[in-house]
Amino acid sequence: MSIQCDTCLFENPEGSITCISCGAPLNLTQDSSTAESLLHLPSGTLLNQNKYRVEKTLGQGGFGVTYKGLDLVDGKEVAIKELFPDKSSRRGTSILWSNVISPKDQREQLDKFKIEAQYLSRCVHPNIVRIFDWFEQNNTAYIVMDFVKGKPLSDVIKAENKLAEDKAIQYFLQLTEALKLVHANNLLHRDIKPENIIINDTDLPVLIDFGNAREFIANKTQNMTEIGTVAYAPLEQNIPTGRRGPSLDFYSLGASMYETISGQLPEPATQRALSDTLIPPRKLVPSISPILEKVILTCLRMRAEDRFQTADELINALNGKFVSPSQRRSQQLVSQGKLAEAAQSYEKCLNNEPTNGEAAVELALVLTHINDGKAEKAALQAIQLLPNDGRGYGVLGLIQCRKNKWSDALKNLQQAANLSGQEAWIQANLAWALGKVGKWQEAETAVGRSLQLDPNLTFALGLQAWIYLNQQQWKSAIRASRQSLFKLKQVNPQGDLDLQNWVYPCLTIALEKAVITKQAQDVERCLQEFTTQLPKSSFAWGFLGWKYASEGRFNEAISSGQKALQQSNSAIWIYFNLGITYEHNNNIQDAVKIYKNCLSINQSQALVLFRLGTLLGQEKDWQTAKSHLQKAIKIEPNRAEFYHNLGWVLLNLNKTNNQVPGIFREIMRAYRQALNLYQSQNDQEYARLISSFQKAGINI
């Protein structure tokens, strides 16, 4: 049996007479209880200029002794914590520091001990022991705090074996609220365990015995095993370079919860390092709720980053709103705009938590910004996990909108709106789908609901403009377009180009149609703004070209039309308008070239075929003109002018080729069809054409 030196507390081998560390004679007759009592202040010792009196020793840890005392000024009971450095001893009431602790380190330990008290005194909370005094005396330092009457939680557990779940949650919610304040002051408790949680006379759990200074001292002495209590300490607490953050306290809190709810200690982290042998609480007590088990197991994760990172996260989880740290990290990446990283993080989260429906829904939402195919697959998984959450159906409907599958989109978005009607984005996409199937009144109602939920949703404002435009409500379309563009500049000064690309056309067309702007310059100003904001918009330049052409400003119209075609994805109408403008400006060859370019993109444009056929006829290329006009008629067989010009081309083809057999019947058939269509349409061209045939002596 080893013999402890009274002077330096070094453990000497059995049979030693003098201390092999400091040379002091050893007391060979003193028992351990007597030796221990000599290290403590005797009852009746006065401290801090006779303000406090020591009553008795309450306990001793690796770096300090705690006494029950009396405040002689107001007569209240107090607890007094004395810094008692490792391997030190006492002479009288004064501490003799171990000779392995340098004077510099002694000063640092004393200062750190008092700084701990100063910081903890700011943590005024009903679930934290109140500290109100600290001072140096007896070559050491003291902290004075309230004496908390009650029982340690450890005694309550022993008496009741385990606590009911609702009582345990009640206690640990309060303790987490207390830790929120501690962590906000850049402090950690570092030694949470049932022995350091007092259930006071009013059934409040109170945190005592903060271990902040002890860890600092342990770092100095390299005696890391003295920090915390093994069963409640995370692995990093026993590693000098280990991460120190709030998750350290949450591990200890989780271990305490585990013991409180099951009556058993969890396996120490040191034993779980290579192979995790932790028994889930529900295997010990099946009545524990699954969500509380998830909370406890999350607290007890071996890796600090896999635990809760803030008190608020743990508070939400204990209140039933559990979000795993892995999911939380994914959410943070989303808030930082790192969507690709967020998607990978969510996928990793779901690999570890395959039943996490919330994470599945959030992944689907993120993927709508990255990959439609993956978003659709993720949405189907989300629907399986959370069939009553409309957001999964909402993502599915959105992807189908993008694929122009409007019936399928409408079905899923209606289901989404039924389940999650308070999601503004779902209502907006529902309005989009309703508009695309021609249900404009229902679309107007849906977009209105969206804007009631979120008045700043620029997409919904833009949709509203589009819906009004298609209902020929020009003034309302103008108002909604302008609101959308204004809000967009407020929310995103750089602008959302995709949104502007279809809201500006709505505004431009509505302004052109509105009667009140016929004599004003609203359209011109809008187009100037449009081309300035979106200089690569083919619609902007194309519409500007049409506007110039309608005013007879053909050179300016041609210039704008050419700029429109220099942009990507130019619409067929831009080609057609430019071709018509070339015709009006007598640039026939350029018009022919434009029409041919247009047909190389889309061969089913009847009006383009008609104009090209007509121009080729003017160029006396009768055979090619005939082919184009016949194709135009095949696409749109009810256009009188198509038959009229075909008759003209056939007539000239007959003259050129010297009475082609059967062509006269074709000529007459084309003219008769033109006359029939003109007549049915009450077109004035009918009378002119009849007059022409009468002058020629032809009875048609």
To the question of pTM greater than 0.75 for the whole model, the response is: no
Q: How many CB atoms lie within 10 A of CB 531?
A: 18
647 token code pair: 């008759």
Cite the annotated binding site by residue number: 81
The whole-number average pLDDT for the span 205-228 is 59
The whole-number average pLDDT for the span 563-592 is 93
Distance CA 277, CA 34 (A): 41
67 token code pair: 């006494």
Question: pLDDT band at 32, cuts 50/70/90?
Answer: very low
Cβ atoms of residues 443 and 467 within 8 Å: yes
Residue 391 has pLDDT above 50, yes or no: yes
| Residue 59: strand pairing partners | 66
Distance CA 66, CA 81 (A): 4
The whole-number average pLDDT for the span 224-229 is 54
Cite the annotated binding site for ATP by residue number: 81
Tell me the HSE value of 635 on the side-chain side, using a 13 A CA sphere: 16
Q: How many CB atoms lie within 10 A of CB 102?
A: 11
- Which pLDDT score, from 0 to 100, does residue 397 have? 97
The tens digit of pLDDT for each residue in 641-692 reads 999 999 999 989 888 776 666 788 888 899 889 888 888 887 676 667 666 6
| Sign of the CA dihedral with 182 first, then 184, 187, and 192 last | positive
Q: Which residue has the tokens 């819906």?
A: 467
Q: Which residue has the tokens 């779902």?
A: 426
The tens digit of pLDDT for each residue in 198-213 reads 999 999 999 998 765 4
Question: pLDDT band at 160, cuts 50/70/90?
Answer: very high
- Which pLDDT score, from 0 to 100, does residue 56 have? 95
Report helix angle 372-385 to 357-367, nearest 10: 160
| Residue 150: strand pairing partners | 200
Distance CA 384, CA 372 (A): 19
**Of 49-63, 182-196, 314-328, 522-536, the least confident:** 522-536
Cβ atoms of residues 307 and 261 within 8 Å: no
Q: Which residue from 228, 214, 222 is spatially nearest to 241, judged by alpha carbons?
A: 222
Cβ atoms of residues 138 and 93 within 8 Å: yes
Question: Which option is the CATH number for 148-322: 1.10.510.10, 3.40.50.300, 1.10.10.10, 3.40.50.1000?
Answer: 1.10.510.10
**DSSP three-state, residue 55:** strand
Residues in the chain: 700
| Residue 77: strand pairing partners | 70
Residue 252 has pLDDT above 60, yes or no: yes
Distance CA 472, CA 181 (A): 59
154 phi and psi angles, rounded to 5 deg: -60, -40
The tens digit of pLDDT for each residue in 107-141 reads 999 998 998 899 889 999 999 999 999 999 999 99
> Domain ranges in the chain?
1-35, 42-99+108-146, 148-322, 604-699
Annotation: CATH topology of 604-699: 1.25.40
Please state the separation of Cα 14 from the chain's center in Å.
65
The correct answer on CATH 3.40.50.150 for the domain covering 42-99+108-146 is no
User: DSSP label at 161?
Assistant: S
State the pairing for strand pair 52-60/46-47: antiparallel
Distance CA 142, CA 666 (A): 116
146 phi and psi angles, rounded to 5 deg: -60, 145
Beta strands in 147-184 (DSSP E): 150-152
Please report, for the chain, how many H helices and E strands are present, in that order. Answer: 31, 13
In percent, the amount of the chain with pLDDT more than 90 equals: 65
Cβ atoms of residues 566 and 586 within 8 Å: no
Residues 6+ apart with CB under 8 A from 266: 231, 255, 258, 259, 278, 279, 300
Q: How many CB atoms lie within 10 A of CB 258?
A: 26
Distance CA 685, CA 672 (A): 13
Q: Which amino acid is at 184?
A: A
The whole-number average pLDDT for the span 214-238 is 63
